Amino acid sequence: MQQEKLHRKRAYSQKVLKEALLKLLVDRPLSKITVQKLCETADVNRTTFYSNFEDIFALYRQIQDDFLEQMAVFTQQQKPYADNRALICDIFRFLYENMDSCRVLILRSEDAFLERLFALQYDVSYSLMKESCNAFDEDSFDYLYMFRVCGLIGIIRKWFNDGLKIPYEQIADYAIQSSDALIYSWKEAHKGNE
């Protein structure tokens, strides 16, 4: 009973600290947030913070890890994917449905967070795209795949920078059409090399 109470208290402390950090990140960069300001916002003392996290960066990394874990669970529940179109649409849907935390994680971090998000989907996405590009040699395909991922990261960043004004279905369709056009033009350019 005592152990369960401690576990609940620790879980609550971590939850309010995460919420407070996300709230503070809305209007300031991570490097400008102090433990003192975070604790004031979360209404916990510094001892509570340090008993849960080494520093603010560790807390931020935990928020990212939690989000990516939720994303992995979400896409696992949607499986099996018949093609990349469904996977890309589900990624955009998940980002939209979690827009509040996503906005902070995407706009306040470098591309590393989005790269981690796509790395999480690598096995499924890579094999699905490979099926539609089976005429490419391995090196050419790897470059094409990386170009596509970087393009998707750019589209996501712009979508969030623009305040998600375009519905996720439409922005996912833009991403899919761009990707399909890239694959088609690459195939056309390399027809004689097959």
User: In sequence order, what are the residues at sequence separation of 6 or more whose Cβ sits closer than 8 angstroms to the Cβ of residue 98?
Assistant: 67, 70
Q: Per-residue confidence of the chain (194 residues) as pLDDT tens digits?
A: 677 777 788 899 999 999 999 999 988 999 999 999 999 999 999 999 999 999 999 999 999 999 989 988 888 887 677 777 888 888 899 999 999 888 888 887 765 888 888 887 777 777 777 777 776 778 878 888 888 888 888 899 999 999 999 999 999 999 989 888 887 887 787 776 65
Q: Which of 53, 74, 92 is the last residue of a domain?
A: 53
Does 37 share its domain with 129? Answer: no
Tokens of 19: 């919420």
Tokens of 74: 């979400």
Does 91 share its domain with 182? Answer: yes
Does 105 share its domain with 48? Answer: no
Does 41 share its domain with 71? Answer: no
- Residue numbers of the domain that contains 11: 1-53
Output the pLDDT for position 22. Answer: 94
Identify whether 59 is part of a domain.
Answer: no
**Could you give the number of structural domains in the chain?**
2
Please choose, from the candidates 87, 83, 67, the residue with its C-alpha nearest in 3D space to the C-alpha of residue 75.
Answer: 87
Q: Helix 122-132 and helix 111-120: axis angle, to 10°? A: 70
